[in-house]
Amino acid sequence: MLVQKKLLHLPEPFVTESGVALKRPQIVYDDGGNPDGPVILITHGGFADQHVAGRYCAEDPTPGWWDGLIGPGKAIDTDTFRVLCMNALGSMYGSTSPLTMNPDTGCRYGPHFPPITLIDMARYQKAFLDAIGVEELHLVAGPAMGAMTALQLAALYPELIGAAVAVAGCGRTPPAALAANQFIINVLTMDPAFQGGWYDLVRPLAAMKTVHQFLRIMSVHEDLLKTAVWDAVHEGVQAQAERGRAISRYLTATLDIDVRDRDPNCYITLLGAINSYDLGRDVGDYEAGVLRIQCPVLLLSVDTDTVYRLEWAEEVADILNTRMAGQARIGLIDSPWGHLGSIKETEQLCDFIASFVAAL
């Protein structure tokens, strides 16, 4: 499946919750599938981009990150649906962010980019849909930060959303995620080369390599490390030493490639937004905030995800189902991948989501 990558400039400045007006806001997005079909919006995870499925050209070596789920005849069938995915506000892949130019200075925003919230992200998604003339969504779906964005959209704009799928998500950022996200922010800002956010764009911060090693630990489950590293070493006098060397190789392999074109200010902006997330924050009551969601909801968790555990999805489902039995469905994905199972386990995702979409 071929998709188009497009650039859109919003017609009006975008004002964040902090009161800062972002002038000439821009959005990079993918647009694919049936142009006349019902619209499905995919919301991406924190450090992912808008390239959710398909390829930009026949020679493109890498399809989108949820390609196993989206396409002709797949769970989200692009013969039937128009599928949109926009790069989030604050992200480093083309939408307005610390990397884009501040019209007032002619320089990149850098650390002067305002702090944003998940509500800002959802409002930015709504401004995007308004700008391209989409008045209703058949479905909004996403993993991780995308799951939170999907639920936040459903809470803020219940008349817009027909149904929502949240994979490895929740109604408010759990304590382990708050701690992990703040740790990453601290590591980046404590690097002497960070220079208050005016670091050298050409030379990646050493702290970014630390961050990506940390992500390789927290984003997967120990079962995966045991299978991939521990079990590959034969028992013997040097077995534990070799396991240590193998873990070191796992942590450091391809780091230079992984951090290339990754922007620390964008990481800080996105993680700050995730840490702000609480469906009840703007109304002062968590349960009341969740109950604004009127549409059917599918909440999928990964059994080995130690951060966004099943109980956080059940918290949302219990509130919704107490009001209206069956409004929220829960599913559990069996995976050794931990949090990354939200994008890796496409076969199981297809089964859950295809059944959910068929029932709408």
Residue 229 pLDDT > 90: no
Q: Please report the sign of the dihedral spanned by the C-alpha atoms of residue 336, residue 342, residue 343, residue 347.
A: positive
Q: pLDDT grade, residue 219 (50/70/90)?
A: very high
Please give the Cα distance from 2 to 51 (Å, whole number): 11
In this prediction, residues 345-351 reach a mean pLDDT of 97
Q: Residue 93 half-sphere exposure, CB side, CA atoms within 13 Å?
A: 19
Mean per-residue pLDDT for 342-350? 97
Domains plus CATH for the chain?
4-173+278-358 (3.40.50.1820), 180-266 (no CATH)
Beta-carbon neighbour count of residue 34 at 10 Å? 15
Transcribe 82-131 into DSSP letters: EEEEEPPTT-SSSSSSTTSEETTTTEE-GGGSPP--HHHHHHHHHHHHHH
Is 57 within 8 Å of 155 (Cβ atoms)? no
Question: Does the structure show a pLDDT above 90 at 231?
Answer: no
At residue 232 the predicted structure's pLDDT band, cuts being 50, 70 and 90, is: confident
pLDDT the model gives residue 44: 98
Measured CA distances, 270 to 312, 350, 359 (Å): 21, 28, 34
* 233 confidence band (pLDDT: 50, 70, 90): confident
Tens digit of each residue's pLDDT (9 = 90 or more) over 40-94: 999 999 999 999 999 999 888 899 999 999 999 999 999 999 999 999 999 999 9
pLDDT band at 230 (very low <50, low <70, confident <90, very high): confident
- Name which residue leads in pLDDT, 341 or 234: 341
Strands 14-15 and 21-22 come out as antiparallel
Average the pLDDT over 266-291 and give the result.
98
Is pLDDT above 90 for 162? yes
Question: In sequence order, which residues have a C-beta less than 8 Å from that of residue 236 and are 6 or more positions away?
Answer: none
222-231 mean pLDDT: 88
pLDDT higher than 90, residue 269 = yes
Decide the pairing of beta strands 101-102 and 107-108. antiparallel
Q: What is the pTM of this model?
A: 0.96
The pLDDT, as a whole number, for residue 300 is 98
CA 313/CA 315 separation, integer angstroms = 5
pLDDT band at 5 (very low <50, low <70, confident <90, very high): very high
How far apart are alpha carbons 6 and 30 in whole angstroms? 6
Mean pLDDT of the chain: 96
Q: Locate 318 and state its tokens.
A: 């219990």
Coil vs helix vs strand at 193: helix
pLDDT-based confidence at 151, cuts 50/70/90? very high
Confidence of residue 268 (pLDDT cuts 50, 70, 90): very high
| pLDDT value of residue 359 | 92
Band of residue 228 on the pLDDT scale cut at 50, 70, 90: confident
Q: Give the span between the Cα atoms of 174 and 345, in whole angstroms.
A: 23
To 10 degrees, what angle do helices 264-275 and 175-190 make?
150
How far apart are the C-alpha atoms of 26 and 179, rounded to whole Å?
A: 31
pLDDT at 273 over 90: yes
Q: Which of 53-62, 123-132, 299-308 has the lowest average pLDDT?
A: 53-62
pLDDT over 70 for what percent of the chain?
A: 100
Give percent of the chain above pLDDT 90.
92
94-112 pLDDT, tens digit per residue, is 999 999 999 999 999 999 9
